Structures are given as structure tokens and as C-alpha cells.
């Protein structure tokens, strides 16, 4: 992409609205000097927040939107207000070419429904998937999908998710041939459902694609860094994601309790503070914020509703990288190679 990417930002989504979303845009602008933004939402609070971030002065246009999609709105309710809500206007900007990507911290179900209706699913993709980067012990994060968009998936869906996840890993992490694995209850070939085993058979014959299929991975190895892309149905993926998040909170809360239980433990905390700070940084969800709807004719990124400015900035940068790298074209090219192989 030759020109600076324009990111449409739903300023009204999330728990804190314009304050954090605009602060996140300012941080993203510091980290990527060529970004521009279209901030969508209620004009007055947006203009007030922009005064605190002069770096955005010549990078931002503001588009007023009357409505705000709440976390309680059902997807069908949200769709009826897509033309007047800040979330819907952001997605429409991507459709009309006014922005290269959209970022919202609002209602996930509403955002997915609006995005599918407005941008449509890519040719060759049966269903879009929700993908995110998760921390690992390895040199790179791991892309995991689907994380909840599709509770039931057939063989075709899993293969398409692998293609999309590999393209995402190449764009977001700069990997030439990402290592791809299917989440399963065991590593042996006979383990798992028919859909998982059949998808593995297709992916084993994927030398024509820019990926390295490793086979199956079990849940206890999700964070080991031994693979770059983990593919699963949305039911399993969402449970795995929530388990990882809950375990991270459990570990940090347990450490906090242990280090405040006595005077001796408080002293131990001071001695071990560099290590605990490293752990806190690694487990901080703001460092891996930004889930992507893959398989649509446009880039839409979902930020966590409780993300701080750093987290919002990371989501914006994910959106910008995917837009710059033309993730839609990458997926289209890989699907074409997959179809040619199947036909031949």
C-alpha cells in the first residue's frame, strides 16, 4: 500500500469511550509515523479529547454519529442502527473506501454481524473467523482461530481457517512459512473428530501453500511457542482462550496474595520485583490486544472493551499492518492455489 493507511476508529465503543480510544490513536501515531485516522462518534467529547493529543492535529478527521451500540444490544438490534451508529459508520467507511481498516472496542457480536453484512465474506471463504495473537514462551506470539465466531465447523472451514491464519502470521509477524497446527485431544493421527482428521489430511498435502503444517497440538502446549498458528472450531477456541485468560489472572492474583501475606513475603517481593514485573508484562492482555475478523472483504479489528491506551494502540497497529500488507489479497491468492491443487 503506497499511501498512508487510514484507520476508522469507533470512539464510542469500549468501557471508557473517546478518552482511551483517542489516547490509543495518539500512541499508535507515535509508533507508526504514517498513520491517519477517521474518528467516529459524538463530536463534542471527541474534539475535547483531541485537544490533549497534538500529534493527531493534522492526522484526524472527525465524523459525527448519533447512536452508540451498547454491550447489551443484540446483533439484530445493532444492524438496524448500522447507518447511524459509530460502529456501523466505521465499518461502512471500510466498505466505501474511506478507510483501510476499522477498529472498535464495542459489542463483539454486533461488530461481527455488521461487518459480515456490510463487507461480505470473501469469495472462496465459507465463514469468517475471529483470530488473535496470544503470548508464548517462544520467539513469536501464536495466532489462534477461530475464537468464537463459529461454534461448529466442518473440514472445509478448518482448512480455510488454516489458510487465513497462515496469511495473518505472515503479515503480522513477518514469517515466510508459518508453522500451522490443529488443536486436538492428542497428537496421534487417529485422535479427534472426523472433521479434524480430514482437515489434517488436506493440510498435510499443502506444500503449494506458504505454510508448514505440523499436525496436531494439545491444549497444554498452546503457549509453548512450538507452532505459529493454532486452528480450531470457535467453540473449542473460545473455551481455550477464556481458560488462558483465567489462568493468567489466577497466577497474578495468587502472586499478589503470596507477596502481601507477611512482612517476610513483602521483602521477598522487593527482591524478586524484576522477575514479577517481567511476568506481569508478559501476561498483560493489553500487549496482545486486537482480534481480527478474517475472511471478510476488508479489515476489521476488535479491541478488548477494557483495554487501556496501550492496548488500543496495539489493536490499531495490527489493523494498520494488515491493511498495509493487503491481507485480503494474500488470502485470496492462497485460496486460489488451494483450489488449483484440489482441481488438479
Over the range 248-271, which residues count as b (16 or more CB within 10 Å of their CB) and which as e?
A: beeeeeeeeeebeeeeeeeeeeee
Lowest mean pLDDT among 39-48, 88-97, 264-273: 264-273
For residue range 81-138, list pLDDT tens digits in order.
989 999 999 999 999 999 999 999 998 889 999 999 999 999 888 899 999 888 888 7
Q: Please check the confidence at residue 1 and state whether its pLDDT lies above 90.
A: no
Q: Is the CATH number of domain 126-294 3.40.718.10?
A: yes
The sheet with strand 36-41 has its strands ordered as 60-64, 36-41, 6-10, 101-104, 299-302, 291-294, 129-134, 142-145, 229-231, 179-183, 212-217
pTM for this predicted structure? 0.86
pLDDT given for residue 275 in this prediction: 47
Task: State the average pLDDT over residues 157-181.
Answer: 92
What pLDDT is recorded for position 33? 83
Q: DSSP E strands: which ranges in 1-117?
A: 6-10, 36-41, 60-64, 101-104
Instruction: Classify domain 1-123+295-325 at the CATH class level.
Output: alpha beta
* CATH 3.40.718.10 residue window(s) in the chain: 1-123+295-325, 126-294
Per-residue pLDDT band for 161 (boundaries 50, 70, 90) equals very high
Amino acid at each position: 500500500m503506497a499511501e498512508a493507511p487510514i484507520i476508522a476508529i469507533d470512539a464510542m465503543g469500549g468501557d471508557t469511550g473517546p478518552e482511551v480510544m483517542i489516547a490509543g490513536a495518539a500512541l499508535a501515531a507515535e509508533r507508526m509515523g504514517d498513520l491517519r485516522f477517521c474518528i467516529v462518534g459524538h463530536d463534542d467529547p471527541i474534539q475535547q479529547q483531541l485537544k490533549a493529543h497534538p500529534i493527531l492535529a493534522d492526522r484526524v478527521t472527525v465524523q459525527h454519529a448519533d447512536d452508540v451500540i451498547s454491550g447489551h444490544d443484540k446483533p439484530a438490534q445493532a444492524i438496524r442502527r448500522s447507518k447511524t451508529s459509530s460502529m456501523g459508520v466505521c465499518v461502512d467507511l471500510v466498505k466505501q473506501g474511506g478507510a483501510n481498516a476499522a477498529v472498535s472496542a464495542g459489542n463483539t457480536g454486533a461488530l461481527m454481524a455488521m461487518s459480515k453484512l456490510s463487507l461480505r465474506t470473501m469469495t472462496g471463504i465459507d465463514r469468517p473467523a475471529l483470530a488473535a495473537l496470544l503470548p508464548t514462551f517462544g520467539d513469536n506470539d501464536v495466532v489462534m482461530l477461530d475464537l468464537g465466531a463459529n461454534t461448529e465447523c466442518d473440514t472445509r472451514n478448518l482448512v480455510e481457517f488454516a489458510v487465513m491464519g497462515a496469511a495473518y502470521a505472515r503479515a503480522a509477524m513477518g514469517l515466510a512459512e508459518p508453522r500451522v497446527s490443529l488443536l486436538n485431544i492428542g497428537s496421534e493421527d487417529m485422535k479427534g473428530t472426523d472433521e479434524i482428521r480430514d482437515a489434517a489430511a488436506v493440510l498435510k498435502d499443502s506444500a503449494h501453500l506458504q505454510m508448514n503444517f505440523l499436525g496436531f497440538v494439545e491444549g497444554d502446549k498452546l503457549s509453548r511457542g512450538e507452532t505459529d498458528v493454532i486452528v480450531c472450531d470457535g467453540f473449542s477456541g473460545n473455551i481455550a482462550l477464556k481458560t488462558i485468560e483465567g489462568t493468567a489472572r489466577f497466577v497474578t492474583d495468587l502472586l499478589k496474595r503470596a507477596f502481601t501475606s507477611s512482612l517476610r513475603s513483602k521483602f521477598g517481593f522487593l527482591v524478586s520485583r524484576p522477575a514479577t514485573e517481567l511476568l506481569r508484562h508478559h501476561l498483560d492482555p493489553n500487549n496482545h490486544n486486537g482480534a481480527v475478523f478474517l475472511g471478510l472483504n476488508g479489515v476489521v479489528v476488535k479491541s478488548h472493551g477494557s483495554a487501556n491506551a496501550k492496548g488500543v494502540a496495539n489493536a490499531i497497529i495490527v489493523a494498520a499492518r494488515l491493511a498495509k500488507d493487503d491481507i485480503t489479497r494474500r488470502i485470496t491468492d492462497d485460496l486460489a492455489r488451494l483450489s488449483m491443487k484440489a482441481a488438479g
